[in-house]
A and B are shown apart, each in its own frame.
Chain A
Amino acid sequence: MNSPRTLYQKHIDSHTVCPLDDQGHVLLYIDRQVANEYTSPQAFSGLREAGRNVWRPSATLAVVDHVNPTAPVRIATMPDAGGALQVSYFEENCRDFGIELFDVLDKRQGIEHVVAPEQGFILPGMVVAAGDSHTTTYGALGAFGFGIGTSEIEHLLASQTLVYKRLKTMRVTVEGLLGTGVTSKDIIMALIEKIGASGATGYAIEFAGPAITDLSVEARMTICNMAVEAGARGAFMAPDHKVFAYLQVKPRAPQGEVWKQAVEKWKELYSDEGAVFDREVALNVNDLEPMVTWGTSPDQAAPVGSHVPDPAAQPDLILRQSMQRALNYMGLEPGMPLSDVVISHAFIGSCTNARIEDLRDVARVVRGKRVAAHVRAMIVPGSTLVRNQAEDEGLAQIFLDAGFEWRQSGCSMCLAMNDDVLAPGDRCASSTNRNFEGRQGAGARTHLMSPAMVAAAAITGHLTDVRSFALEA
Chain B
Amino acid sequence: MQPFDTVSGAAAPFLASNIDTDVIMPKQFLKGIDRKGLDRGLFFDLRFLDSGEPNPEFILNQTAWIDAAFLVVGPNFGCGSSREHAVWGLKQVGIRALIGTSFAGIFYDNCQRNGVLAIQLSQAQLKRVAAVISNPVTARISVNLPEQTIELADGTLIPFEIDELRKQSLLLGLDAIGTTLQRAEQIRSFETRHLSENPWLS
CB-based contact B190/A17 at 8 Å: yes
Q: Is A265 an interface residue (CB 8 A)?
A: yes
CB-based contact B109/A160 at 8 Å: no
Contacts of B165 in A (CB 8 A): 20-21, 23, 25, 163
Residues of chain A in range 1-49 having any CB-CB distance to chain B below 8 Å = 14-15, 17-18, 20-21, 23, 25, 27, 29, 31, 38-39, 41-42, 45-46
CB-based contact B27/A416 at 8 Å: yes
Contacts of B102 in A (CB 8 A): 198, 201
Contacts of A254 in B (CB 8 A): 199-200
Stretch of B10-18, B62-70, B133-141, B145-153 contacting A (4+ beta carbons < 8 Å)? B10-18
In the complex with contacts A18-B186, A126-B201, A155-B105 CB distance below 8 A: no
CB-based contact A133/B75 at 8 Å: no
Q: A257: nearest residue on chain B (CB-CB)?
A: B199
Interface size on B, residues (CB 8 A): 55
CB-based contact A147/B82 at 8 Å: yes
CB-based contact B33/A89 at 8 Å: yes
Q: B81: nearest residue on chain A (CB-CB)?
A: A133
Q: Which of A20, A201, A322 contacts B104 (CB 8 A)?
A: A201
Within the assembled complex, what's the spacing in Å between the Cα atoms of A473 and B191? 49
In the complex with contacts A254-B200, A265-B198, A442-B26, A25-B183 CB distance below 8 A: no
Residues of chain A in range 42-98 having any CB-CB distance to chain B below 8 Å = 42, 45-46, 50, 52, 55-56, 58, 67, 80-83, 85-86, 89
Q: A14: nearest residue on chain B (CB-CB)?
A: B194
CB-based contact A152/B113 at 8 Å: yes
Within the assembled complex, what's the spacing in Å between the Cα atoms of A415 and B23? 12
Contacts of A152 in B (CB 8 A): 109-110, 113
Q: Is A313 an interface residue (CB 8 A)?
A: no
Contacts of B180 in A (CB 8 A): 27, 155, 158-159, 161, 163
Interface size grouping (class) on chain A: 35 or more
Within the assembled complex, what's the spacing in Å between the Cα atoms of A42 and B85? 10
CB-based contact A159/B16 at 8 Å: no
Q: Which of B16, B22, B198 contacts A321 (CB 8 A)?
A: B16
Contacts of B109 in A (CB 8 A): 148-149, 152
Stretch of A111-119, A183-191, A433-441, A448-456 contacting B (4+ beta carbons < 8 Å)? A433-441
* Contacts A/B (CB < 8 Å), 22 sampled: A14-B194, A18-B183, A21-B163, A41-B34, A50-B177, A55-B187, A56-B191, A125-B198, A149-B83, A149-B87, A151-B110, A152-B113, A159-B184, A202-B105, A231-B76, A231-B105, A318-B16, A322-B17, A415-B22, A434-B22, A438-B22, A438-B23
- Known interface pairs A23-B163, A27-B183, A149-B109; 17 further A-B residue pairs with C-beta atoms within 8 A, sorted by A's residue number: A17-B183, A45-B34, A132-B82, A133-B81, A151-B113, A197-B18, A197-B76, A198-B75, A201-B76, A202-B105, A259-B200, A265-B198, A299-B18, A416-B27, A434-B20, A436-B23, A439-B22
Q: Enumerate chain B interface residues (CB-CB to A < 8 A).
A: 15-18, 20, 22-23, 26-27, 30-35, 45, 74-76, 79-84, 87, 102-107, 109-110, 113-114, 163-165, 176-177, 180-181, 183-184, 186-187, 190-191, 194, 198-202
